[in-house]
Amino acid sequence: MHSAPPLYAITDPALLPGERLFSGVAAAIAGGCSWIQYRDKTATAAERQQRAARLNALCQALGASLIINDDVALAQAVGAAGVHLGREDGSLAKARQMLGPHAIIGATCHDSLAFAQQALAAGASYLAFGRFFPSATKPQAGAAPLSLIAQAQALAAPVVVIGGINPQNLPVLKAAGARSFALCEAVFGGAAMLGGEPIEARCRQLLALAQA
């Protein structure tokens, strides 16, 4: 069973265009993000293959794990550490069969403990719950109550919280029992929103809050 790290960074092509994808991810890893999820809904298949392969080499060189969003075949093709699947994004059991026993396989559970149990039975390595706060990345996502975090910790897998997390509200989630935090905008978002700190410095601040 994999343990989930304190910080889990999710890429966004709007925030990391072109070469900034690679420099931004390298900075996030330097700041303490040991899991990186490559999420890109706009690139062509060929672009995604090239970027994922390059990101995987970068993550391996820097001691981090690359997880591919919603594409088991791409994860397999580039030799990524694993895949993250949404509720409608394919079979967790098939992903486990394709990627093998050591792959990191994440499941989006929203606010459903029942789905989380099913995901575990199908071979999920970790369970992602949220959103807990309004999210610019997924504005349509339904809200999850803070009380869910303590309930989810009773499940036999690491729990990752997601959705609108930033330095101001991360301590609220930690107080509710969260130990692993998935972030996108707070790591890679606009400098104006976060006072202009570089990505590595933001991650160090978030890591200190996560480990406080």
Please report where in the chains the tokens 């390059």 appear, as a residue: 54
- For residue 1, tell me if it sits in a domain: no
Q: How far from 192 is each of 79, 120, 187, CA to CA, in Å? A: 36, 40, 13
The whole-angstrom separation of Cα 66 and Cα 58 is: 9
Q: Which CATH number do you get for residue 121?
A: 3.20.20.70
Please report the pLDDT score of residue 90 as a whole number. 83
Please work out, in degrees rounded to the nearest 5, the angle formed at the alpha carbon of residue 97 by the alpha carbons of 94 and 100.
140
Positions in the chain short of pLDDT 70 = 1, 137-139, 191-196
Please report the pLDDT score of residue 87 as a whole number. 84
What is the tens place of the pLDDT at every residue in 23-57? 999 999 999 999 999 999 999 999 999 999 999 99
Average pLDDT, the chain: 93
- For residue 2, tell me if it sits in a domain: no
Number of domains in the chain: 1
Which residue range(s) make up the domain with 126?
7-211
- For residue 85, tell me if it sits in a domain: yes
Please report the pLDDT score of residue 193 as a whole number. 45
- For residue 119, tell me if it sits in a domain: yes
- For residue 157, tell me if it sits in a domain: yes
Please report where in the chains the tokens 């994808």 appear, as a residue: 21
